[in-house]
Copies of this chain bind each other. A is one copy, B any other.
Amino acid sequence: MKKHNFYAGPSILPGEVYEKSSEAIRDFAGTGVSILSISHRSTEFGEVMERARSLVKELLSLDDDFEVLFLQGGASMQFLQVPYNLMHHKSAYLETGTWASRAINEARYFGETVVVASSKDKQFRYIPKDYTVPSDADYFHITTNNTIYGTQMHEIPETEVPLVADMSSDIFSRVLDFNRFGLIYAGAQKNMGPAGTVMVAVRKSLLGKTGRRIPTMLDYETHIKKASMYNTPPVFAVYASMLTLEWVKKQGGVEAMEKINKEKSDLLYAELDRNPLFEPFVAKEDRSMMNVTFDLKDERVKPLFDRLWNEAGIVGLKGHRSVGGYRASLYNALPLESVKVLVEVMQETERKA
């Protein structure tokens, strides 16, 4: 690619994912048929789905109680599907951003929903830390990384109740004990693949307990029984996700990703802390390794900075419309080189301002 791609999602993928998926549109796995035009019941695609599911288990070191699904509808559909499948009487949520708020709204359709803490009072610039999770909640839902604000949970809370996490924007980017979770979901379009599929890793032992009749397509058990092939899956999105997961594995897995992601984000935050023109958006202890949000202290420097990063071939640096300012997303596939280019542009802005 010719650009330094800092988009927050859909976002940059490894070069070999572009190459292989582009080629598979012309001829998939030597079948003489396009990946867009092969039956999802073909042996060749069946292998892709199984490989994608097992790579998730392997990369996250998930125990055998977990089933991995590739569904549709994005994380937004999971806001609904999680309470449909897991909530009997009561759920608990940590409100750390817009996506958490949306998840809370959907949970309220199903019963009592306790917001244990919220950082809404300060534009979600921090992660709340002192709260109590009701011990009779069916689950506790967190958002491990908040794409819009650039906050990230560096401590995963200890809870008595099953922990459910929206990891859309930091899955596969750092080491956690993923077996501490009851359910993990992630829209593919950041660290896992292109838009169009959402990964769900769910403990089988948590299912079937609500007494609720669940519509077929929203029931995790429907998809578990059919190995994520109950109906036609989003074939291309699953294929490109599998390629991305293979790339993560070849790089050395999640541990290697964390190392390079730390290096990238340390470099950028150091510059933001040093350069007098810029101001980071988020409380220091809650800064995200994935999404770095900041603004210029003086709006008059904006035309210069914007011109310079555009000239440097950078795209996707605009902050989310609800926050403004800038956001540099440093997902797994973004090379260190791109961060260096951004830091140079910041320094050049300082010299010329």
Contact = CB atoms under 8 A, between A and B. Distances in A.
Nearest to A218: B80
Given A32-B313, A231-B76, A237-B234, A27 B2 contact: yes
Contact of A194 (B7, B12, B218, B236): B236
Contacts of A182: none
Contacts of A11: 37
A214 to B, nearest CB: 9
Contacts of A106: 215-217
Interface string A222-241: 00000000111111110010
Most buried by B among A10, A27, A80, A240: A10
A210 interface: no
Nearest to A35: B194
Interface stretch (A14-22, A59-67, A135-143, A338-346): A14-22
Copy count, this protein chain? 2
Sort chain A's interface into a size bin: 35 or more
Contact of A230 (B12, B76, B194, B195): B76
A1 to B, nearest CB: 6
Contacts of A213: 109
Interface string A1-43: 1110101111111000110011101110001111011111000
A152 interface: no
A315 interface: yes
A72 interface: yes
A11 to B, nearest CB: 6
Given A7-B37, A31-B315, A36-B17, A76 B240 contact: no
A237 to B, nearest CB: 6
Contacts of A195: 40, 232-236
A312 to B, nearest CB: 12
A189 B35 CA distance: 12
Contact of A36 (B13, B73, B197, B234): B13
Contact of A37 (B5, B27, B217, B218): B5
A77 interface: yes
B80 A232 contact: no
Nearest to A11: B37
A349 B213 CA distance: 52
A316 interface: yes
A307 interface: no
A181 B300 CA distance: 56
**A-B CB proximity, top 6 nearest:** A196-B234, A72-B72, A2-B32, A36-B194, A76-B231, A22-B25
Given A72-B73, A80-B217, 11 more contacts: A1-B27, A1-B37, A5-B37, A12-B37, A13-B36, A22-B25, A72-B72, A72-B74, A72-B77, A109-B213, A187-B232
